[in-house]
A and B are shown apart, each in its own frame.
Chain A
């Protein structure tokens, strides 16, 4: 190829002699120097990360908020003549034997009658879909949801009415009183009988204590035994009385019954008291739907769980999560701040301190389950066992503190989050300008006065950051909790209105563990699915709320330090 276009020969500029000759030719600024690709890469990484986080939130938010919305109730007649009544869950297309099949998942309920509560139906088999006027969704105390139409209302076995509208209004009128009686039964069972039982237990422990202290044949032991026998007699009388009361209430409740007919034509009588909530799904107005939606949320937030956690509420889990997290913060923050203070302010900086610092940092990387095992072995058995032997010998072999409980869970998580607090506090302390320390010392303040009056207030926002991180880490942790305190169903709340109000030795429910339990250990995972989303949403909201409080406090502290009036 011949060169046809010669680049023009550089003509020497007239003033070239005055300019210093460059040794190297001037190079064009390269694209990489502008950093344009880097801007794209970093921006892309941010977008990707955000998209994943937002996607996760949207998923949880969408499913979590939509779960409780009452949908229509459909009566599906199949080609073979049978019919199915239920709520449509979702539709999908699957490949079965090489051909695509559209099918839908119907929640058919009535698990006590059919043994399944969900059913896949091929769209090809569907002959007719109707929305029956009086089809009811019935949420029961046990066996999950029931779908059917009201047939009759019975009082003491006598049919009062058979008109659906009248049955419905009779049910609405009787539901309140019946639920109140049920609540009374529960109070009697849990509180009254519980109180008598506690009294009996105390008497038994008093006898045992007297025997341990004074010997089995001593006067004291015999007196305690007499007392115990007397209390036992009283207790039995109370039991009989309470039993009679409960039986009367039960009998009264058994009088009021609604008979429903399923889509298969089976009539099912049901006690009004056993129905938590019922609504005619296809007759509901928008406000009616909103009412059901809000009532379900309220139940979810305030009630105890039932049906192996798949239904009812998560109040004990909320209380457990919040009290455990707060207790953990109370334990970890002072401890971590003191440790960091010594490391940063008092310890002679050198190889030993550097080693400790590295060890602390690495502690944050230890798998949390290891902390759980340690907590179980050390806190529950060693510390708790020692407390039992020292203070509660009469209760042995039943453990009082030597078992999984709130305090041990909080301590284990405090240990788990300690590195976070120490590292954040150390950084906050290091960020306090040395000019301020010097100023204080030059005024004749001691080191401790300088730390207390200048360094700590100045480092407070940074310490709060550590607390926020610790809360976020601790509240979302599940694995160690399974070993040291969280249970599927706690018999009593860790915080209640009976003295001493906080019961650190009790086991508790936890939202994180609840999610695991619902997702992987419930008998009917499809029925538990909505609860998983709502519980996840709730846990995220609670952590967000706890952190927002900490952020708010931190912002206040920071503004105060910067000299802006708050």
Chain B
């Protein structure tokens, strides 16, 4: 799996292999094996109906670090992300093979308690999706659905989570007003606060800044920086700068395949595949 670049493929031959449907091994940097992993993705394949969207994805997500998934549109980044908390279950036609382990426990088995799993894995979506209720109720939603009624505890969690998401100072005086009245960037940070209120082990971010302006984006990126260490983050992004700024590890995907996976610094500065270099430098994509 960890062969050196160029040993079996010429720099331009990999995409041809993908287009011709030949199998190949992704290039995974050795540095990734030194980390303790929280998520292990093993030979993951996924079909929407009869068309395959993911091909033998195998990778690890290091604990306490930010892992970014990059690649051109339609390469399966979001699909991969949504496998981790089994959001793809909502689509009737999806079929999955392979396995994902969260701290060693398999999560793609039919016996997995999906509700419990989603409480351990928080998710923030591309478009901010606050619920039509007050800011307070939005943040403590995950506690409410567990039947928590202790007002003191709820307030404590709300304050902590909002502080964690860097939103506390802006909204502390209007916790009871509707979340829908917040600006887009505030809404997205509220969604992050909502996700971390459940104290998840993993945080999935699906292009969290694509609907935000540059200033709001900057704040969310700072937030991601603050959250790492406490949470293991797996994020999808379209933005090369964002991936290079905010993540520790980066996986480059192309047409449903994992192409190269390694420490962000290495992947951006010394990629082992010419295709990766082309993509991260903007010559292709």
Residues of A at under 8 Å CB distance from B? 348, 433, 435-436, 438-446, 449, 453-454, 457-458, 560-565
Contact = CB atoms under 8 A, between A and B. Distances in A.
A13 B283 CA distance: 44
B118 A563 contact: no
A174 B125 CA distance: 82
B121 to A, nearest CB: 8
B145 A445 contact: yes
Interface in B156-208: 177-181, 191, 194-195, 198
B253 interface: no
Interface string B130-143: 11110000000110
Given A433-B129, A438-B87, A443 B180 contact: no
B171 to A, nearest CB: 13
Contacts of B179: 563
Interface in B113-133: 115-119, 122-123, 125, 127, 129-133
A441 B204 CA distance: 14
A439 B141 CA distance: 10
Which 9 A-B pairs give the minimum distances between C-beta atoms?
A563-B178, A444-B119, A563-B181, A563-B180, A442-B123, A435-B129, A444-B118, A439-B129, A561-B132
Given A444-B145, A444-B198, A439 B191 contact: yes
B215 interface: no
Most buried by B among A439, A445, A560, A565: A439
B90 to A, nearest CB: 7
B99 interface: no
A433 B87 CA distance: 16
A561 B115 CA distance: 27
A442 B180 contact: no
B124 to A, nearest CB: 8
B178 to A, nearest CB: 3
B144 interface: yes
Contacts of A445: 115, 141-142, 145
From B131, B177, B180, B194, name the one whose CB has the most chain A CB atoms within 10 angstroms: B131
Given A435-B127, A562-B178, A563-B179, A446 B87 contact: no
Given A436-B131, A449-B145, A453-B144, A444 B115 contact: yes
Nearest to B128: A435
B178 A440 contact: no
Given A439-B129, A441-B87, A563-B180, 4 more contacts: A435-B127, A443-B142, A454-B131, A562-B178
Most buried by B among A348, A453, A560, A561: A453
A565 B127 CA distance: 24
B37 interface: no
A566 to B, nearest CB: 10
Contacts of A348: 92
Interface centre among B116, B127, B141 (most CB of A within 10 A): B141
Contact of B131 (A439, A562, A565): A439
Contacts of A442: 85, 87, 118, 122-123, 125, 195
Contacts of B132: 436, 454, 457-458, 561, 563
Contacts of B115: 444-446
Given A443-B195, A449-B145, A438 B178 contact: no
28 contacts: A348-B92, A435-B125, A435-B127, A435-B129, A436-B131, A438-B90, A439-B130, A440-B141, A442-B87, A442-B123, A442-B125, A443-B119, A443-B122, A443-B142, A443-B194, A443-B198, A444-B115, A444-B119, A444-B198, A446-B115, A446-B145, A453-B145, A454-B131, A457-B133, A458-B132, A561-B178, A562-B178, A562-B180
A94 B123 CA distance: 82
Nearest to A458: B132
Nearest to B135: A563
B218 to A, nearest CB: 24
Nearest to A443: B142
Contact of A565 (B117, B142, B177, B180): B177
Interface string B104-117: 00000000000111
B90 A441 contact: yes
